[in-house]
Amino acid sequence: MGTRPSSRALIDALRHRPVTVATLCSHSSLQIFHGARMERLSTLGIAVGKPPRYYEAFPLARPDSYLTVPKATEVGKYAKQLNALGSVIVPHGSFVEYMGADRFQALQVPVFGNRAVLGWESDRRKERAWLDSAGVSMPRRYETIDDIDGPAIVKYYGAKGGKGFVLAKNRSDLKDFKPSGPYVIQEYVLGTRYYLHFFYSPLSRDGYRVGPGSLELLGMDRRDEANIDELYKLGSQEELTRAGMRPTFVVTGNVPVVARESLLPKLFDVGARIIERSIELFGGMTGPFCVEGIVTEELEFKVFEISARIVAGTNLFPNGSSYSDLVAPQLSMGRRIAQEILRAQSEDRLDAVIS
Ligand code: AMP
């Protein structure tokens, strides 16, 4: 995996000692700790200020110990303490967001997965180049407003929770559009959304083989998004716009879903293509990732985004999902990460899953 030379020694240091699973106390941390504990690994919560009080309510998921830092951006300064505990950092969306992708990439502590993926995933254009060249079907991209020939969505770069996104039924809806930052315009895909929780193991030789390893589907969810999910109750878009109400896509929670079984070949094919291309482009994406897409009435699956790490939708399944139950009992994404670390350690292949 594309490790920097300085990471080599850090990874080597983990070969013959107990590992501690460490992550920032937020997002999917409870599930990560719960899963690590099921595999009898030690856990460390990195808390900004003091440990979150709500952790006290979840005794099976609380970490064994805490590292308190003044700000998420300063986690790098605690590398020595983290390495002394044999930490493997498990990245999640909030960790990378709060710390900053550059600082996260420069962390002098072993990280689960290939951190090279961050450079491909955080830039919408690079991500599109990756998925396009993998042969994955995506919503069409319109270069300019004049190119629009149907419903469209304007998305700002790195928009947190889709705030400020603009929906347009057609080109003329955007004639007075004044962008407030860099953006992309996409075909608005009408259909139903599915967020697929995949895990790619470069070590596994069983199951659905992709590249040197295999691809597992451990769960699926749909995100609850405010205010778009409920906006229709107030009337038509014209009326709402006149009243100053604009759609937003702020994720407030998650609901479990399953896709019809006849879609599974297509969904696995998409996951496999994304992995195969990642191996060619940057040495492979390892561990959890989420493919986010829309199934149309023609049963086409169009991918609008991928997240190259554990997503919060996996929190639905601390003891297994409709899919992971068919892989192994009580298998959460957090537990699967812990299993992979232990397997890599026992096969002396930590460099294949840690960077
Ligand atoms: P994103 O920031 O790309 O994850 O998009 C945030 C939300 O906007 C998604 O969860 C979808 O609900 C919606 N969305 C994004 N792209 C599209 C699209 N091309 N067509 C329809 N809805 C979309």
The domain made up of 1-112 has a fold known as: Rossmann fold (3.40.50)
Q: How far is CA 341 from CA 18, 276, 300, 347, in A?
A: 11, 22, 36, 10
CATH domain 141-188+227-242 topology: Dna Ligase; domain 1 (3.30.1490)
- Is the shortest distance between the CB of 21 and ligand 1 below 6 Å? no
Using CA positions, which residue lies closest to atom 7 of ligand 1?
A: 249
Give pLDDT tens digits along the chain (355 positions). 544 445 789 999 999 999 999 999 999 999 999 999 999 999 999 999 999 999 999 999 999 999 999 999 999 999 999 999 999 999 999 999 999 989 999 999 999 999 999 889 888 789 999 999 999 999 999 999 999 999 999 988 766 667 778 899 999 999 989 888 888 899 999 999 999 999 999 999 999 999 999 999 999 999 999 999 988 888 877 788 788 888 889 999 999 999 999 999 999 999 999 999 999 999 999 999 999 999 999 999 999 999 999 999 999 999 999 999 999 999 999 999 999 999 999 999 999 999 9
153 lines ligand 1 (CB under 6 A): yes
Q: What residue has token string 């199934």? A: 295
The pLDDT tens digits of the residues spanning 187-238 come to 999 999 999 999 999 999 999 999 999 999 999 999 999 999 988 888 877 7
CA distance 222 to 110: 31
Nearest Cα residue to atom 6 of ligand 1: 162
Please state the atom number of ligand 1 nearest to the C-alpha of residue 195.
Answer: 10
Ligand 1 center to 146 CA (angstroms): 21
223 lines ligand 1 (CB under 6 A): yes
Beta strand residue intervals within 13-95, DSSP E: 20-24, 42-48, 65-69, 87-89
Q: Does the Cβ of 139 fall within 6 Å of ligand 1?
A: yes
CA of 299 from ligand 1 middle (Å) equals: 18
Check the CA dihedral 304-309-314-320 and report its sign.
positive
CA 154 to ligand 1 centroid distance, Å: 10
Collapsed DSSP state (helix, strand, coil) of residue 195: strand
Distance from Cα 354 to the centre of ligand 1, integer Å: 31
State the residue for tokens 């550059």.
Answer: 102
Q: Whose C-alpha lies nearest to ligand 1, atom 4?
A: 305
Q: Report how far apart, in Å, the C-alpha atoms of 167 and of each of 108, 127, 146, 188, 302 are.
A: 42, 22, 15, 8, 18
253 lines ligand 1 (CB under 6 A): no
Ligand 1 pocket mutation pick from 127, 128, 137, 153 by most atoms within 8 angstroms of CB: 153
Q: How far is the CA of 304 from the centre of ligand 1 (A)?
A: 6
Q: In ligand 1, which atom is closest to the CA atom of 228? A: 12
Question: Could you report how far apart the first and last alpha carbons of the chain are, in Å?
Answer: 7
- The pLDDT of residue 157: 79
CA of 127 to the centre of ligand 1 (A): 15
- Ligand 1 atom with minimal separation from the 159 CA: 2
Q: Is the CB of 186 under 6 A from ligand 1?
A: yes
Q: How do residues 118-143 score in pLDDT, each as one tens digit?
A: 889 888 789 999 999 999 999 999 99
Domain boundaries, the chain: 1-112, 141-188+227-242
User: Taking a C-beta distance cutoff of 8 angstroms, is the pair 168, 334 a contact?
Assistant: no
Residue with tokens 């300064």: 77
The percentage of the chain sitting over the pLDDT mark of 90, rounded to a whole number, equals: 82
Give this prediction's pTM: 0.95
Q: CA 312, CA 281: separation in Å to the nearest integer?
A: 26
Looking at residue 236, what is its pLDDT? 79
